[in-house]
Amino acid sequence: MSVLLAKNWAGSDPTGWWISEKLDGVRAVWDCRTLTTRNGQAIHAPQWFIDSMPKAEPLDGELWIGRGQFQRTVGVVRSRSAGDDWKAIRFAAFDAPMALGGFEERMAAMQDAVTDGAAFVLPQRRCEGQADLLEELCCVEQAGGEGVMLREPGSRYERKRSGTLLKVKTFHDAEATVIGYEAGTGRNACAVGALVAQLQDGTEFRVSSGLTDAVRRNPPAVGSLFTFKYQEMTDGGVPRFPSFLRVA
């Protein structure tokens, strides 16, 4: 099932839009029987987790452990033998794709369907304006969160990237391909110092920030795609202050 995808906020007036935290988990779709990724791949959750999910309404949401726990979440979700590790995961529901009406009606459907168990409804509130938005963004990021989301009031669920759903972050993110490595120095003398990366348009750049010791010792393979964050692009189209986030 195709899902609603967000565009980047470009400074438009957010007054009256619904605001919520942008969770750094694994996007998942619940069809009242099974969990799948946004691309339709099966997620092999334990049966007790499936049994604890709500059965009244298909849901769009995020499998989430907590702020800064993305890699741990991915490891549990991808494993077929994670067992008790799933006890740390909850399903944060933020939309009901099959419910009729605008976002407010779908939110009501979520709240009716989700009562207990492994799922909860992601809190939403009305944004009071740009100052309120930026204050919320600052609070979330200082607490270790990734950013915030804006949903247009009354908007329908569109199964595509839509301007009715906007992501707001201090840093942008993008994907690049690993084309090589630079050797480390000092304490990283026996590890990778930086990834040599290439954007889709052929622009090359280096990424050293955000690499953990584990990634430096076992970097993503040449040819693999990874996600990075950056502040802005230079006039030459090179990302400024790029920082490694995760293998795509």
pLDDT tens digits for 166-216? Answer: 999 888 889 999 999 999 988 888 899 999 999 999 999 999 999 999 999
Reported as half-sphere exposure (CB side, CA atoms, 13 A), residue 215 has a value of 19
pLDDT at 248 over 90: no
- Domain boundary pick from 110, 137, 168: 168
Q: Kindly state whether residues 118 and 29 are assigned to the same domain.
A: yes
Per the structure, the count of domains in the chain is 2
- For 119, other C-beta atoms within 10 Å of its C-beta total 20
Query: For position 195, which CATH number holds?
Result: 2.40.50.140
Integer Rg of the chain from CA: 19
Min mean pLDDT across 69-73, 109-113, 127-131, 174-178 is at 69-73
Provide the percentage of residues in the chain whose pLDDT is more than 90.
79
Together in a domain, 212 and 149: no
7 is catalytic: no
Q: What band does 1 get if pLDDT is binned at 50, 70 and 90?
A: low
Question: Which pLDDT band holds residue 233 (cuts at 50, 70, 90)?
Answer: confident
Shared domain for 75 and 157, answered yes or no, is yes
Q: What's the domain range around 25?
A: 5-168
Q: How far apart are the first and last CA of the chain?
A: 20
Indicate if 157 and 222 belong to the same structural domain: no
Q: Are residues 163 and 176 in the same domain?
A: no
pLDDT digits (tens, 9 = 90+) for 44-54: 999 999 999 99
* Residue finishing a domain among 103, 133, 168: 168
CA distance 148 to 126: 13
Among residues 7, 22, 160, 169, the one annotated as catalytic is 22
Q: Which of 168, 184, 212 is the last residue of a domain?
A: 168
Query: For the domain that residue 12 is a member of, what is the CATH number?
Result: 3.30.470.30
Give the pLDDT confidence score for residue 39 in this predicted structure.
87
Residue 116, pLDDT > 90, answer no
Q: What is the b/e burial string over 199-226, where b = at least 16 CB atoms within 10 angstroms of the residue's CB?
A: beeeeebebbeebeeebbeebbeeeeeb
